[in-house]
């Protein structure tokens, strides 16, 4: 039976320290202005000059009022205060929602939701990197090309700025390699109208999986509207189909969802083995006065249960008796005993042979001495 190799493999834990710039709607996050932007671990600084179509110039992020088909250029000033050359990697990312109900504007492996009509990364373009000589300040130029179609709601994303080569500055600790990466992420919200859009949720599926290499049930649902969903609370209870006893449950508050994004909400199985069968998820999501409820049946197959149980690092695997291995060990033990017996017998026989030879030699010598003495006695006198 396989076992997970997290504790034995040399793997990389990446901590991406991201400073999200701004206050998105009613959600409080630290706001950093250009003046509050020391180089620190990133090795460079930046400053933003807002264009005339910035909705609120007191914000620390871009919130631009656009028109259909509008083409616009933006400039972010990048400065290198150090005495060595700095290369800054630039990535444009759409806003996503992670498993904890936190919106990510930086680089992410989360896929786009099918409800997303206009991808932020297709509208906003930037160079892949910018080189700064010691003491140099240079503008990072961004271009925005809005869709020709009129659009209600918002399109959200971020521009990530990270010093290149940070993956080379790794530290080893306790057998694990840790790579500390630092980046700035400047948020950007694009809108064409003032029309208010209410968020709306749709349940996609419920299925078995793993969170941090431990068994879990994932509830996947989407915010299918081009609007932020704030102050979200999610409650999930898992039962066997047709039964009332709650097997697993989870409640989390103060969550958010990005426009046109999904969330994979994990419900831990508390370190228990995954058991095949038919189950039901009772789901309640609330945000202010809004409420969404679903009951969803799902199945855990034998294949999934075996696969995830095998990979769960918290499980003590129950292994059956391996008779082939037992027979092999017994046979090896018997062979060892037989070889030892033969060796001891050979040594004993060899020792006995030596003793017999020595005994015969003593007898022969004694006989010779006796004969010599006898001959002397029989010798005639002169």
Residues 288-339 have pLDDT tens digits of: 999 999 999 999 999 999 999 999 988 855 444 456 777 888 888 889 899 8
Residues 43-78 have pLDDT tens digits of: 899 999 999 999 998 888 999 999 999 999 999 999
Q: Virtual CA dihedral for 22, 26, 28, 32, nearest 10 degrees? A: 20
CA neighbor of 111 nearest in space, from 254, 260, 298, 226? 260
pLDDT above 90 (res 249)? yes
Average of pLDDT values for 22-51?
59
% of the chain exceeding 90 in pLDDT: 65
- Could you count the other beta carbons within 10 Å of the beta carbon of residue 16? 17
More confident residue, 19 or 130: 130
Confidence of residue 166 (pLDDT cuts 50, 70, 90): confident
Residues 267-278 have pLDDT tens digits of: 999 999 999 999
The DSSP secondary structure of 150-186, one letter per residue, reads ---SEEEEEEEEEETTGGGSEEEETTEEEEEEEEEEE
pTM of the model: 0.73
146: left (phi > 0), else alpha (psi -120 to 50), else beta? beta
Residues 193-247 have pLDDT tens digits of: 999 999 999 999 999 999 999 999 999 999 999 999 999 999 999 999 999 999 9
Q: Is 352 helix (H, G, I), strand (E, B) or coil?
A: helix
- Could you count the other beta carbons within 10 Å of the beta carbon of residue 369? 10
- Could you count the other beta carbons within 10 Å of the beta carbon of residue 281? 22
pLDDT, residue 354, reads 76
Confidence of residue 37 (pLDDT cuts 50, 70, 90): low
- Could you count the other beta carbons within 10 Å of the beta carbon of residue 375? 9
pLDDT above 50 (res 122)? yes
In this structure, is the dihedral angle defined by the CA atoms of residues 322, 324, 325 and 331, taken in order, positive or negative? positive
- Name the token pair of 65: 């009022």
Confidence of residue 361 (pLDDT cuts 50, 70, 90): confident
| Neighbouring residues of 128: CB distance < 8 A, sequence distance ≥ 6 | 89, 90
Looking at every residue in the chain, the average pLDDT score rounds to: 84
- Name the token pair of 133: 């000589």
Average of pLDDT values for 154-160?
97
Measured at the CA of 193, the angle between CA 190 and CA 196, to 5 degrees, comes to 100
Residues 330-343 have pLDDT tens digits of: 888 889 899 888 88
| Domains of the chain and any CATH numbers | 12-191 (2.60.40.10), 201-311 (2.60.40.10)
Place of tokens 């029309």: 195
pLDDT above 90 (res 33)? no
| Rounded Cα gap, residues 191 and 210, in angstroms | 37
**Can you list the pairs that 271-275 forms with residues at least 24 positions away whose Cβ atoms lie under 8 Å?**
271/214, 271/215, 271/312, 271/314, 271/315, 272/215, 273/215, 273/305, 273/309, 273/312, 273/315, 274/208, 274/215, 274/300, 274/304, 274/305, 274/308, 274/309, 274/312, 275/300, 275/305
């Amino acid at each position: 039976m396989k076992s997970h190799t997290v504790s034995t493999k040399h793997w990389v834990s990446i901590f991406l320290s991201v400073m999200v710039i701004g206050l998105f709607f009613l959600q409080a996050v630290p706001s950093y202005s250009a003046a509050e932007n020391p180089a620190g671990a990133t090795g460079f600084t930046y400053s933003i000059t807002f264009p005339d179509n910035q909705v609120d110039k007191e914000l620390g992020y871009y919130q631009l009022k656009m028109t259909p088909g509008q083409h616009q250029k933006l400039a972010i000033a990048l400065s290198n205060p150090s005495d060595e050359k700095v290369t800054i990697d630039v990535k444009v990312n759409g806003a996503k929602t992670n498993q904890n109900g936190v919106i990510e504007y930086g680089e992410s492996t989360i896929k786009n939701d099918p409800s997303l009509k206009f991808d932020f990364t297709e509208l906003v373009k930037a160079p892949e990197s910018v080189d700064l000589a010691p003491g140099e300040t240079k503008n990072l130029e961004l271009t925005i090309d809005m869709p020709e179609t009129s659009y209600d709601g918002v399109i959200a994303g971020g521009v990530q700025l990270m010093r290149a080569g940070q993956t080379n500055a790794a530290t080893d600790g306790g057998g694990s390699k840790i790579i500390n990466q630092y980046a700035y992420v400047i948020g950007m919200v694009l809108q064409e109208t003032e029309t208010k859009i209410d968020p709306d949720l749709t349940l996609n599926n419920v299925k078995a999986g793993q969170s941090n290499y431990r068994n879990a049930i994932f509830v996947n649902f989407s915010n299918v509207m081009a609007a932020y969903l704030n102050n979200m609370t999610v409650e999930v209870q898992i039962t066997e189909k047709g039964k009332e006893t709650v097997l697993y449950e989870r409640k989390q508050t103060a969550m958010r969802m990005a426009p046109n994004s999904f969330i994979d909400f994990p419900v831990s199985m508390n370190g228990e083995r995954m058991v095949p069968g038919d189950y039901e998820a009772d789901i309640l999501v609330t945000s202010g006065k809004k409420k969404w409820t679903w009951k969803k049946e799902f199945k855990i197959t034998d294949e999934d249960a075996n696969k995830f149980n095998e990979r769960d690092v918290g499980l003590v695997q129950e292994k059956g008796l391996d008779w082939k291995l037992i027979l092999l060990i017994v046979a090896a033990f018997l062979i060892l005993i037989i070889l030892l017996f033969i060796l001891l017998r050979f040594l004993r026989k060899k020792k006995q042979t030596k003793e017999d030879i020595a005994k015969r030699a003593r007898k022969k010598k004694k006989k010779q001495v006796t004969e010599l003495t006898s001959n002397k006695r029989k010798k005639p006198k002169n």
